[in-house]
Amino acid sequence: NVIATQVTSFNAAIFGAICLASRLSSPFHAFVLLEVAAVYFALGPILLAKIRSVPLLVATVGVCCYLLLQLSMTIFWTYVCVLAFVNGFCPLLFVRLQRHKNNIHGPWDEAIVSDFREENGSASSI
């Protein structure tokens, strides 16, 4: 199922790139866009899986904070507040509000397949 999802996502990304490329002025520009899209969408997830690590994330945020602090104190504190809001407060709010979720059932839901043995009341009847 994971492979099917990855293939579907890749196909959707390439389809989007083709739709955008059809609006470009020359075949060369369309080719470049499709080539870049293929590289990003095919190799990007592999590269991100290799470099995704906590120490790299901490180092990147630290360097970003240092550079923003050198630029402006206001921009630095805005960045820190937005980072704390998006990565701290929003997930906490999402988890807290789950109990208020209203689940609406309808014909758009997936079908629930029941086991034949459960319908007859015993597993030994088969």
User: Contacts by 39-45 with C-beta closer than 8 Å and gap 24+?
Assistant: 41/9, 41/10, 41/13, 41/14, 41/17, 42/10, 45/6
First to last CA, the chain: 30
Asked, for residue 119, whether it belongs to a domain, the answer is: no
Confidence check: pLDDT of 61 > 70: yes
The pLDDT value recorded for residue 95 is 94
Confidence check: pLDDT of 1 > 60: no
Question: What are the tokens at 57?
Answer: 């994330």
117 contacts 123 by C-beta, under 8 angstroms: yes
The pLDDT value recorded for residue 17 is 93
60 and 47 share one domain? no
70 and 80 share one domain? yes
Q: How many domains does the chain have?
A: 2
18 and 1 share one domain? yes
69 and 36 share one domain? no
Residues of the domain holding 83: 53-100
Compute, in degrees rounded to 10, the torsion defined by CA atoms 48, 59, 91, 46.
Answer: 0
Asked, for residue 60, whether it belongs to a domain, the answer is: yes
Q: Which band of pLDDT confidence, cut at 50, 70 and 90, is reported for residue 2?
A: low
82 and 38 share one domain? no
57 and 92 share one domain? yes
Alpha-carbon separation of residue 15 from 7, 33, 41, 94 (angstroms): 12, 12, 11, 33
80 and 48 share one domain? no
14 and 31 share one domain? yes
